[in-house]
Amino acid sequence: MPKAYTFKKEKDTHEIHIYEGNFTDTPTPCNSDPQSICKDPNKATSLNIPNAVCLNENEARQKASEIGRNVCGVCVSHLYTTYKKSSK
């Protein structure tokens, strides 16, 4: 199942972080982990970014590009990570 990505702005620093979660079949279209991808801030200290909630991976990449440098680089790099499959 594809992951859902939500962008949140940290209340103190105003830096934007990405939270990974899952799409759901409930009235709330997705959930998100309590900590951002980089494990820096948590949801309690962050606010959702309008039009940047429950995005698929490609939409999240595009949104990060639109927002620019205010998005945490560690969080963004996770969207481009490739995993090598074991040859076993």
CB 78 within 8 A of CB 37: yes
Q: Phi-psi bin for 39: left (phi > 0), alpha (psi -120 to 50), beta?
A: left
What global pTM score does this model have?
0.87
51's tokens: 């039009």
Q: What percentage of the chain exceeds 70 in pLDDT? A: 93
Summarize the confidence of residues 49-78 as an average pLDDT.
96
- The domains of the chain are located at 3-78
Higher pLDDT, 5 or 26: 5
CB 18 within 8 A of CB 72: yes
Q: What percentage of the chain exceeds 90 in pLDDT? A: 72
Q: What pLDDT is stored for residue 52 in this prediction?
A: 96
Confidence of residue 88 (pLDDT cuts 50, 70, 90): low
